[in-house]
Structure 1
């Protein structure tokens, strides 16, 4: 494809349409009148050989092809914006800024403490607000609106408007009272009563362990369901209960709760702990530094 024959402003129009899902609002966002925005959409359709956006009662919905293009186009525009942005030096040691992130319980326990330590050392003028991710879809919408600067956690939903960076991978371990230090066999794991964290209450959502057991026609007994992950090791301590937890969370709480870690007697795949942020974040020197700082913390864990 001959780039000289392509108006790269069409990619800006594509991004605005993807984020606004409305021709008029997309035009207002990038300074185009509605007829000019409609013309840009027509040219985009011709360029990519696809409808890209289909008018529905809920707004202009992207086609499969548009969703495939969202990430590479967004990343390309982010790099261009970062390159063309004024070379404003950001000095974290003297900067004053308020940043907001939303995190899962895992992120709160594992990522936030070393991140706070890094900020206090390298950027003491930056104030950090940490919100909980209760409803992942709602938190993603808040990120898309710019109400929060980043999300941190595992199993977070995807969006073509958002950039996802994997900080590190996590796996599972078992925990038992410190008096029971012998690793469990698969049969013992099933025979023992389990403690389970589930913010939704009830029996909790079937996790990867339950899915593996179900494939073998087996099921564990959940004797205690807890609303806070921090409560799990304290409930296990001094009892015959066993629990399955993320390794880094269990490691942080084991000594103070009086439990011991042991291998999970089933092979389970690791899961990613991700950092999510808006595509325009790289054009903000302070936010760009902050995201890099989060990645530094991730590499240290």
Structure 2
């Protein structure tokens, strides 16, 4: 393909269509009237030899080819924007800005306190709004729309329109009352009643540990299901219950709740705590600094 013959403005049209899933809104976003945006889509289809976006009741849905193009085109545009952006120095100590993130319960308890401490020390003029991630897919959609600046948590869904950075890895530990502090055996683990955290209510979905147990033909009994993770250690205290929790969360409440931490008697793999943000964040000096600050916090935890 002769690059000189390609209108690179079509790539911004592609990006807008991918994010908006609507021809009119995509055109408005990049300053094109609806007929001009439709023309751009026609030219994009000819350029890539694919329909790219199919009109449905739910909006313009990307084809497999469009999804495959999303990441490389997004990265190329981010690089161009960063190169052409004015070289404006960002001074965190004097900056005034309001930033919004959405986090899981884990992020709220482990990452946010350290992030707030860093902001108060280095960028006291930045106001931080923290929203909960109740529905991961819905929160991802708010990030894609630009309603929030970043998501932080584990097991968050992927999207070709979003950049994912791993902050650190987390693993599981068991909690028991301090009066039952002897290490658990695999048999103990399935014999004892469990307390489970489920933000959605009900019995919760089978987790990693349940899959490991099922592979061995075993199953644990969940005697108590709680809607708030901070309640779990306090429910364990003074009882025969056992809980399985992320190590860093459990460590925050062990002493105050009067519970003991001990190894999980099964080989459960660690999981990642991730930072998700939009590709164009690199062209915003304040947001780029903020995201780098979150990564610094991750390295300290």
Aligned to 1:10: 10
Q: Kindly indicate whether residue 94 of structure 2 is the aligned counterpart of residue 94 of structure 1.
A: yes
SS at match of 2:157: coil
Q: Does 1:266 align with 2:255?
A: no
Alignment of 1:103-252 (within 5 A): 103-252=103-252
1:46-85 aligned at under 5 Å gives the runs 46-85=46-85
Secondary structure of the 1:179 match is: helix
Deviation at 1:146, TM superposition (A): 2.1
- What is the CA–CA distance in structure 2 between the aligned matches of 1:162 and 1:48, rounded to whole Å? 22
The 3-state SS of whatever aligns with 2:206 is coil
How far is the alpha carbon of 1:251 from its aligned partner? Answer: 1.3
Q: CA separation in 2, counterparts of 1:201 and 1:13?
A: 42
Instruction: Please give the alpha-carbon distance, in whole angstroms, between the structure 1 residues aligned to 2:290 and 2:262.
Output: 35
Q: 1: distance between equivalents of 2:186 and 2:277?
A: 40
Instruction: Provide the TM-score with structure 2 as the length reference.
Output: 0.95
**Residues 80-118 of structure 1 deviation map (CA, whole Å, 9 limit, x = unaligned):** 112211111110011111111111110011100110111
Does the Cα contact within 8 Å between 2:19 and 2:145 map onto a contact in 1? no
CA distances 1:49-104 after superposition (whole Å, capped 9, x unpaired)? 32211122222110011111112211221121122111111100111111111111
What SS does the aligned partner of 2:180 have? coil
RMSD, aligned CA: 1.5
Deviations 1:177-198 (A, max 9, x none): 1222222111110001101101
Matches within 5 A, 1:14-29: 14-29=14-29
Aligned-partner Cα distance in 2 for 1:291–1:60 = 31
Structure 2 equivalent of residue 34 of structure 1 = 34
Distance 2:25 2:197 in 1: 43
TM-score, normalised on structure 1?
Answer: 0.95
Aligned residues: 301
For the pair 1:43 / 2:37, whether they are aligned, the reply is no
Q: Aligned partners of 1:269 and 1:108: how far apart in 2?
A: 23
**What SS does the corresponding residue of 2:7 show, helix, strand or coil?**
coil
